[in-house]
Amino acid sequence: MNVSVVLFTCDLRLHDHPPLRAALDGARQVVPLFVRDRAVTAAGFDAPNRRAFLADCLRDLDAGLRERGGRLVVRSGDVVAEVCRVAAETDADEVHLAADVSAFAHRRERRLRRALEAEGRRLHVHDTVTWAVTPGTVTPSSSDHFAVFTPYFRHWSRQRLRDPLAPPRAVRVPDAVGSGRLPTREEVPERSPGLAAGGEREGRRRLAAWLRSGLAGYADGQDDLAGDATSRLSPHLHFGTLSPVELVHRARRAGGPGAEAFVRQLAWRDFHRQVLAARPEAASADYRTKHDRWRSEDTAHADVEAWRAGRTGYPVIDAAMRQLRHEGWMHNRARLLTASFLAKTLYVDWRVGARHFLDLLVDGDLANNQMNWQWVAGTGTDSRPNRVLNPVVQGRRYDPDGTYVRRWVPELRGVPGPAVHEPWKLGRERAVLDYPEPVVGLADGLARFREARARA
């Protein structure tokens, strides 16, 4: 066997990459290929922040391959047509690809297999590239997936993970195969000004720093909004510049309560993947409890706009929504609060919020985003679907001094301490603040939610 193609998708790395290793073991030459798939654009999934981060990742992958004597081949168009074209140009026998869970990924895999086999070539799909434990390998006796996290996590924790693979020493790419131009982040308009840098090297640098000085404090600091004490590795996991298998191994090796809490969060990532793999329609349809009384974007237009703009009059919600716009990223606790506020306090269809998150999040990920939104909205896997998070109580608990709010809401910078969470109580001082009144009273929001749920 002479040539194999490796189709990179959301696995943009050289460390611990089973498809690349298999291709190098089986062929003299390998084509590392990335296709800018026009179907992703047509589906509105290549939001500016992810496009900019992706540009960093592709450039870094290309640089890593060049250090090993190779290069990245980039094409644009229909992914199946482009892979077949490259395979034909290089007379490749095999194509290697990482498995993925969405309906889109399943369709891509089926189409690719059919088209390649029609030309006498083989498609190899590799597990444990984009997750640690493969969806469907741990199941309850009565179903094809777990709908509750705790028992899933018990089974997940007992799985033996494969050892991480070293990056290749050399990659030989056929000379004749042409490539399109690599994109740059600078050419992406409307990206967030505070967007993090992408690429495997950057991911590994962040990971090393995290293991050295973040992980130990994670169990205690994970919910501290101002402390910003989470790993911020989510975009690297989304684009696969870091391997989930390697992360679990390295965290476990570090040990301690911080590592345990961190590995648990990585298991949440796999949990949502096994739900979406079994129920791909849950990306847009209510997963467990159906609700059809949501306020739509049209009926709740002003409220939705206030939420998106960070002008709801609830400081912790507004701080979080402004952080999202500025960085393309948000702390998990802030995601819980803003999602609960939209879906429960404003009683707006969770899909409206999930779409906005996907438009801005650099880690915007179908499984994690849609299934977390459903969890918060009470249509998903939360065992307490009727809980409503109070933004004042939560603000005081997770931003006790108000530092997070003052960081993102300049109108409130002059308000000291926790009083910043309730600007309507400020008396005369309130009148001079250019800050909105609450879009809804919390008691009114709660009453609307309870009434709608009682009638559902």
232 binds ligand FAD (CB under 6 A): yes
Residues of each annotated binding site for FAD: 218, 230-234, 262, 363-365
274 part of the interface to ligand FAD, by CB under 6 A? no
- The answer to whether 238 contacts ligand FAD (rule: CB under 6 A) is yes
CA-to-CA separations, 125 to 6, 86, 99, 195, in angstroms, rounded: 10, 18, 6, 32
Q: Is 76 in the site for ligand FAD (CB under 6 A)?
A: no
Choose between 4 and 374: whose C-beta lies nearer to ligand FAD: 374
Two structure tokens written together for 425: 């109580």
CA dihedral 181, 244, 24, 93 (to 10 degrees): -70
Q: How many CB atoms lie within 10 A of CB 190?
A: 10
Q: How far apart are alpha carbons 372 and 362 in whole angstroms? A: 16
Q: Quick check: 361 binds ligand FAD (CB under 6 A)?
A: yes
Residues 6+ apart with CB under 8 A from 150: none
Report if residue 191 touches ligand FAD, rule: CB under 6 A: no
Our CB check for ligand FAD shows the closer of 133 and 336 to be 336
Is residue 332 within the footprint of ligand FAD (CB under 6 A)?
yes
Q: Which residue's CB is nearer to ligand FAD, number 24 or number 99? A: 99
Is residue 157 involved in binding ligand FAD (CB under 6 A)?
no
Q: Name the residue nearer to ligand FAD (CB basis): 34 or 239.
A: 239
Per-residue contact track with ligand FAD, 371 to 410, x per CB under 6 A?
-xx--x----------------------------------
Q: Which is nearer to ligand FAD, 116 or 266 (CB)?
A: 266
Is 272 an interacting residue with respect to ligand FAD (CB under 6 A)? yes
Nearer to ligand FAD, 192 or 369 (CB): 369
* Helix (H/G/I), strand (E/B), else coil: 438: coil
Among 29, 130, 243, 368, binds ligand FAD (CB under 6 A): 368
In single-letter form, the type of residue at position 66 comes to R
Which two tokens mark 120? 């006498």
Secondary structure element (H or E) that encloses residue 263, with its range = helix 257-278
- Give the range of 50-58, 176-184, 367-375, 416-424 binding ligand FAD by CB under 6 A: 367-375
The residue to which tokens 């349809």 are assigned? 285
Nearest distance from residue 337's CB to ligand FAD, in Å?
9
Determine the 3-state secondary structure of 272 from DSSP. Answer: helix
Residue 53 binding ligand FAD, by CB under 6 A: no
- Candidate ranges 81-89, 103-111, 263-271, 435-443; the one touching ligand FAD (CB under 6 A): 263-271
Q: Does 100 bind ligand FAD (CB under 6 A)?
A: no
Ramachandran category for residue 136: left, alpha or beta (phi over 0 → left; psi -120 to 50 → alpha) = left
Distance in Å, CB of 84 to ligand FAD, minimum: 31
Residue 192 found at the interface with ligand FAD (CB under 6 A):
no
Specify whether the CB–CB gap between 259 and 231 falls below 8 A: no
* Angstrom distance (rounded) from CA 329 to CA 203: 16
Where does residue 30 fall: left (phi above 0), alpha (psi -120 to 50 degrees), or beta otherwise? Answer: beta
The answer to whether residue 357 forms part of the interface with ligand FAD (CB under 6 A) is yes
Choose the stretch contacting ligand FAD; rule: CB under 6 A; options: 72-80, 97-105, 370-378, 408-416.
Answer: 370-378
Q: Give yes or no for residue 128 binding ligand FAD (CB under 6 A).
A: no
Q: C-beta of 282: minimal distance to ligand FAD in Å?
A: 14
CA torsion 101-106-108-113 (nearest 10°) is 120
DSSP label at residue 348: B
CB 175 → ligand FAD: shortest distance, Å? Answer: 39
Which of 3, 87, 233, 324: binder of ligand FAD (CB under 6 A)? 233
Task: Kindly report the length of the chain.
Answer: 456
- Which residues make beta-bridge pairs with 165? none
Angstrom distance (rounded) from CA 347 to CA 342: 6
Residue 269, interface with ligand FAD (CB under 6 A)?
yes
Q: Judged by CB, which is closer to ligand FAD: 367, or 409?
A: 367
Torsion of CA 23, 26, 27, 33, to 10 degrees: -10
| Among the residue ranges 93-101, 195-203, 369-377, 435-443, the one whose residues contact ligand FAD (CB under 6 A) | 369-377
Residue 275 touching ligand FAD (CB under 6 A): no
415, 416, 417, 419: CA torsion to nearest 10: -30
The CA-atom distances, in angstroms, between 303 and each of 177, 287, 296, 313, 375 are 53, 25, 11, 11, 22
Q: Which residues bind to ligand FAD, rule: CB under 6 A?
A: 222, 230-234, 237-238, 262, 265-266, 268-269, 272, 331-332, 335-336, 339, 357, 361, 363-365, 368-369, 372-373, 376
